[in-house]
């Protein structure tokens, strides 16, 4: 079983719609969760991080974490064509007191159609 | 936010030569630097973890004698691809967390093409 799984997509949504990106992880002890956006040919850039169960909102982005289900998601409201990119879910399986071997999922390709 | 500067952004080299990639943390001290490789349409694969003043820790399957990592200061880590071959052509990216347990900031990446 892969440690961090994502649907590779492509996920296509119309402009203005809500894009929902999902991620599951295998290590129940995981503590830190990150969402990165990566445009083609560029390095990833951090969008959000979440440590606690529940929702965390930042502008058009909402991260949702459910540790019991080992599930983290990213919602993008009012999707824009500029949101078209690959979204990487990353999980730090160890306690927050160290940063080691953050594991990246394969990424989900999102396409926002004008 | 924190800035990690990576150079060069792209490089083309002949097979058998060596290439050095530099990553600098510009506004924080990077005790730890992670080096990743990414092939087209694939996810990031961690190659090694470098810690300032000590030897790097390599992931399974990564040749430490081929991918030399030096982290001599708190703001600079380098990756040298020695005796590069076409199969080493890839996108190499460094990243560093500002603090332990926090999010990592990525360098701009280096597109290596070995001909």
State chain A's mean pLDDT as an integer: 90
| Distance from the B96 Cα atom to the nearest Cα atom in chain A, whole angstroms | 10
Average pLDDT over residues A106-114: 95
How much is the pLDDT for A9? 83
Average pLDDT over residues A83-107: 78
The confidence band for A38, taking pLDDT boundaries of 50, 70 and 90, is: very high
Task: Tell me what percent of chain B is helix, strand and coil, each rounded to the nearest 5.
Answer: 5, 50, 45
A50-64, B36-50, B95-109, range with greatest mean pLDDT: A50-64
Q: Which of B2, B43, B48 is the best mutation test for A, with the most CBs of A within 10 A?
A: B43
Average pLDDT over residues A105-114: 94
How much is the pLDDT for A98? 46
The percentage of chain A sitting over the pLDDT mark of 90, rounded to a whole number, equals 70
Q: Give the model confidence (pLDDT) of B15-71 as tens digits.
A: 999 999 999 999 888 888 999 999 988 888 889 988 888 889 999 999 999 999 998
Q: Give the model confidence (pLDDT) of A61-94 as tens digits.
A: 999 999 999 999 999 999 999 999 999 999 887 6
Smallest CA-to-CA distance from B77 within B43, B104, B101 is with B104
A 23-82 near B (Cβ less than 8 A): 31-32, 34, 36, 41-46, 49
User: Could you tell me which residues come within 8 angstroms of residue B40 by beta carbon, excluding any fewer than 6 positions away?
Assistant: none
Residue of B nearest to A93 (CA): B101
State chain B's mean pLDDT as an integer: 91
CB-defined contacts A:B, below 8 A = 53
Smallest CA-to-CA distance from B2 within B24, B21, B28 is with B28
Average pLDDT over residues A42-63: 94
Which residue in A42, A46, A98 is closest to B103 by CB distance? A46
The confidence band for B101, taking pLDDT boundaries of 50, 70 and 90, is: low
A107 pLDDT above the threshold of 70: yes
DSSP notation for chain A: --SEEE----EEEETTS-EEEEEEES-TT--EEEEEEE-TTS--EEEEEE-SSEEEEETTEEEEEETTTTEEEEEESS--GGG-EEEEEEEE-S-TT-----EE---EEEEEE-
């Amino acid at each position: 079983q892969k440690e961090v799984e994502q649907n590779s997509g492509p996920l296509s949504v119309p402009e203005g719609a809500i894009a929902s990106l999902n991620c599951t992880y295998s290590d129940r002890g995981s503590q830190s969760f990150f969402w990165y956006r990566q445009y083609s040919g560029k390095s990833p850039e951090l969008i959000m991080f979440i440590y606690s169960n529940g929702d965390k909102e930042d502008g058009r982005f909402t991260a949702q974490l459910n540790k019991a289900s080992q599930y983290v998601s990213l919602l993008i409201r009012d999707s824009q064509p500029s949101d078209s990119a690959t979204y990487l879910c990353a999980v730090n399986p160890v306690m927050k007191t160290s940063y080691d071997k953050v594991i990246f999922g394969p990424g989900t390709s999102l396409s926002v159609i004008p | 936010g924190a800035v990690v500067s990576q150079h060069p952004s792209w490089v083309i080299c002949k097979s058998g030569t060596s290439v050095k990639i530099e990553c600098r943390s510009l506004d924080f001290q990077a005790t730890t630097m992670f080096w990743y490789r990414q092939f087209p349409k694939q996810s990031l694969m961690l190659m090694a973890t470098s810690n300032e003043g000590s030897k790097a820790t390599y992931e399974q399957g990564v040749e430490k004698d081929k991918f030399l990592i030096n982290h001599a200061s708190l703001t600079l880590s380098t990756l040298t691809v020695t005796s590069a071959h076409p199969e080493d052509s890839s996108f190499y990216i460094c990243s560093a967390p500002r603090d332990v347990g926090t999010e990592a900031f990525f360098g701009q990446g280096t597109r290596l093409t070995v001909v």
